[in-house]
Structure 1
Amino acid sequence: MEIGITTDIIDSTKYPKGVFYYVRYLIKNISKIQSNHNFHLIHYHQNQDSIYQLGFDEILLKPYPIPVPTVSKLLTNYIKSPALLKNLDIIHFPEFRLPWFPLFFRSSAKKVLTLHGGRLWVPPQSKPKIYRKPKAWMLTKFLALTFPLMKDKIDMYIAVSHFLKWEMMENLKIPEEKIKVIHLASDEKFKPQKTEKEGIIISDTPIPELIEIYYKLGKKGIKHKLVIFSMREYGYENAKEMVKKLGLEKEVIFAGYVSDDELVKLYNTADLYLRLPLVETFGIPPLEAMACGCPVVTTNVGSLPEVVGDAGILKNPDDIDGIVKAVHEVLMNEGVREDMIKRGLERAKMFSWEKTAKETMKVYEEVYNSNS
């Protein structure tokens, strides 16, 4: 079987996050599986990332010299790519990206599409506003209009959680039999280290509610500093303004983007990881934290109950006082904290990229052997 996987996100991502890691670790773990299948990595530009050093064939689709990259790639995939990809039995799109749109119609290969929720399914509270993110707003509108046309061109969908599968069935009207749930994981580098705790709470949710929670914790006698690591745009400036208003400049540290090695250190030196999403379709960071032995307090939205289970504390995102109470309990009660560390380590072991790769391989084989 000749299997192509689109890897362009590896070439173009400045700040790696969820889908980037999904592509990288999926391919690295596929390389460890013994099979008679041939894999081809499909992208646009030469790149020295580690996935291109695994011995897989690369199919480079040189875009037309047009100053608008998206238009250039769309034309390339409409005109040149079908011929270059004609020998593939399956193409796996690890995320829906607009330039690949023509291949859903013009490639004869069977198609597998992984949905993470951020492009094709957008919950009402997360839909981009035209005045804040006009490009994202236009893309969302475009997908809403065109997805019904391409929906049946996909032979199998992969959802990263059962929560997302339900949303795909309910909102995108995708038949249940065309959706396979395959969970993501945290990388092996996220593990406990012998290091001293630094009296910090860490979070990657730079929103005003986080600052309010931290302020109330201070009123209850908590002396920990708050370290916020994130390149997220929404809420960042409002959070900084609230920090200034409450006089917390010396207690709150905005660390911005941190590398994986720095993140492993943060998880290991923190007493607690606090995440406050309003929607979540998987949630790799809570797994990373638990794998490092860092207690997790987060919201009970989306897939988080599915991922965190009873290893962390899940609270309604509107229950600010309940979140404050939960964090205070973890920080002040060593027995609770040690129990959460133990359960978190065990929970994280339930997810692995090796398992993700093996289950994805089964999807390829099922699609290849189907009559559709």
Structure 2
Amino acid sequence: MRTYQLNLPHEERGRAGLGTRPSGTGHGPPGAAARATINGRFLSQPKTGVQRYAYEIVRQMDAILAEDPLLRSHLALDIVAPERAAGPSDYAAIRRRGVGGGKGYGWEQGVLPLRARAPLLNLCNTAPLLRRRQIVCIHGANSFVYPQSYSRRFRYAQRALFPTIGRRAQTITTVSNASAKLLKSLGIVPADREIDVIPNGHEHVHAWRPEATRLDRAAILERPYVLVIGSQAPHKNVRMLDAIAGALNARGIKLVVTGGVFNMFSSQAAQLGAPETSVLGYVTDDDLAFLLSNALCLAFPSLVEGFGLPLVEAMALGCPVVSSNVTSMPEVCGNAAILLPPDRPELWLEAIQGLHDSPSLRADLAARGAKQVRRFSWAASAQAYIDLLLDATGGPCRPL
């Protein structure tokens, strides 16, 4: 990934070549900041991990701009969203504009390109096909690898849009090196194109309040429990853990599964049949903080992930992690988790039992997780996008 000299004190920027470009050399009138636009369609969508990425990146970009008058003199951002979209409207430095009717692919392809100034930043996989001067984050290719997990409309849309975006967009980003390799191996992004890896962060969990949970605390804490976060889509592989719920129960350990139902997923969700499995469904962030803070471990048995946001959320809250050893998960976990094949339930049972029996192992994994999670910062990733936007607008950003 390219690195830029932007994180410098104001007085050092002249020596780095920042703030010294004569007025009028950008993409606007003399003395004016170059303008760029953020695709705000995510504000009208349910908040899955992909939308969380956009919310947190934009929030941190806004904070960086608000604190830096010199940067604001070079870059001004608008976020253009569907007229009736929810989400934040109190940005300090980013101007929000609501435009047009609708909120789906039609709005993104037909309305947004007419109302958005280039360059355009798209943080949630899709983007207007007619635009070349844009940055697009393609989080992964799950719908290509496990189409049975997704609705027909969702997977057809991604198959139609992704390869064109991968060829035409000025800059492609993704959230892990594993995802970058997969995008190239599937031909979504040409093999000779550079992909910038800008990962998820973890700081959002520090705003969660476990004491505000609405869950039945006594019922949750009645016995040690293993927490599973994610939908019941086939690629999440929750059924594998459901199959060992009885064996866990016999050892005094409960399986607790959380995750909402979204229309992008196939109706062929895994049916969890074990009576010992406690399915909570959708939970709030505060509920999740309570669950992670008290769990024996997070079990994350996915077959494919672009990143795996629950992994860093767990590590940030001191929860030990047992994860699949495929796609992005070893990259995200490093040496801070127990990594296992997703098709070996007996190994998962053994690992969970080992954590149950060893407080020192749990403490060691929690300590390793606290160190590993510092590699993933929303502030650093937001800064990386600001660097790319300055580069795209001809701003004062010089690669090292």
Does the C-alpha gap of structure 1 residues 137 and 25 become closer, same or farther in structure 2, counting only changes over 3 Å?
closer
Question: How many angstroms does 1:193 deviate by?
Answer: 8.5
Match of 1:73 among 87, 107, 122: 107
Q: Deviations over 1:219-257 (max 9, x none)?
A: 4xx2122211012566986543x214xxx2xxx221101
Which position in structure 1 is the counterpart of 2:41?
8
TM-score, normalised by the number of residues in structure 2: 0.76
Structure 2 residue 219 is matched with structure 1 residue 181: no
Cα offset, 1:267, TM superposition: 0.5
Query: Structure 2: which amino acid aligns with 1:20?
Result: Q
Gaps of at least 5 residues in structure 1 are none
Structure 1 residues 274 and 149, CA gap change in structure 2 (3 angstroms): closer
Does structure 1 retain, via aligned residues, the 8 Å contact 2:315–2:321? Answer: yes
1:225 corresponds in structure 2 to 254
In structure 2, the CA distance between the partners of 1:227 and 1:234, relative to structure 1 (3 Å rule), is farther
Structure 2's unaligned 5+ residue stretches are 1-33, 212-216, 233-237, 396-400
In structure 2, C-alpha distance between the alignment counterparts of 1:41 and 1:203, rounded to whole Å: 34
1:268–1:293 CA contact under 8 A, matched in 2: yes
Question: Cα gap change, 1:92/1:38 in structure 2, threshold over 3 Å: closer, same or farther?
Answer: same
Are 1:92 and 2:121 counterparts? Answer: yes
Deviations 1:60-117 (A, max 9, x none): 22127xxxx647526743xxx44433xx3410111233xx43xx32x4x721000111
From the superposition, tell whether residues 341 and 191 of structure 1 become closer, same or farther in structure 2 (CA, over 3 Å). farther
Tell me the amino acid that sits aligned with residue 152 of structure 2: P
For residues 342 and 92 of structure 1, what CA distance do their matches in structure 2 show?
Answer: 36
Contact kept? 2:163, 2:189, Cα under 8 Å: no
SS of the equivalent of 2:334 reads helix
Aligned to 1:133: 151
| Secondary structure of the corresponding residue to residue 165 of structure 1 | helix
Asked whether 1:212 is paired with 2:233, we answer no
Aligned to 2:172: 157
Cα pair 1:45 1:61 within 8 Å, conserved = yes
Q: Which has the higher contact order (CA 8 A, sep 6+)?
A: 2
Q: State the AA in 2 paired with 1:91.
A: L
In the TM superposition, residue 12 of structure 1 has moved relative to its aligned partner by 2.8
Asked if the contact 1:193–1:292 (Cα under 8 Å) also holds between the matched residues in 2, the reply is no
Residue 138 of structure 1: how far off its partner (Å) = 3.1
Query: Separation in 2 of the partners of 1:203 and 1:298?
Result: 10
Cα offset, 1:176, TM superposition: 4.9
Aligned equivalents of 1:25, 1:161: Cα separation in 2: 17
Letter in 1 for 2:79: L
The corresponding residue for 2:26 is: none
Aligned to 2:302: 277
The aligned length equals: 336
Output the CA distance in 2 between the equivalents of 1:40 and 1:192: 28
1:21-51 alpha-carbon deviations (Å, 9 max, x no partner): 1111111111122213100001112455235
CA shift, 1:218, in A, is 3.4
TM-score normalised to structure 1 length: 0.81
Q: Kindly state the Cα deviation for residue 187 of structure 1 after the two structures are TM-superposed.
A: 3.1
Q: CA deviation at 1:309?
A: 0.7
Contact 2:120 2:134 in 1 (8 A): yes
Deviation at 1:6, TM superposition (A): 0.7
Q: Is the 8 A contact 1:63 1:76 kept in 2?
A: no
Task: Give the residue type in structure 2 aligned to 1:155.
Answer: Q
CA distance in 2: counterparts of 1:59 and 1:340, whole angstroms: 45
Question: Does structure 2 retain, via aligned residues, the 8 Å contact 1:27–1:51?
Answer: no
Instruction: Report how far residue 208 of structure 1 moved.
Output: 2.1
CA-CA distance at 1:286 after TM superposition = 0.8
- Coordinate RMSD, CA, aligned: 2.9
- Indicate yes or no: 2:85 matched with 1:54: no
Q: Which residue of 2 aligns with 1:288?
A: 313
Structure with greater helix percent: 1
Tell me whether 1:21 sits opposite 2:52 in the alignment.
yes
Instruction: Show the 5 A alignment for 1:101-116.
Output: 101=128, 104-105=129-130, 107=131, 110-116=133-139
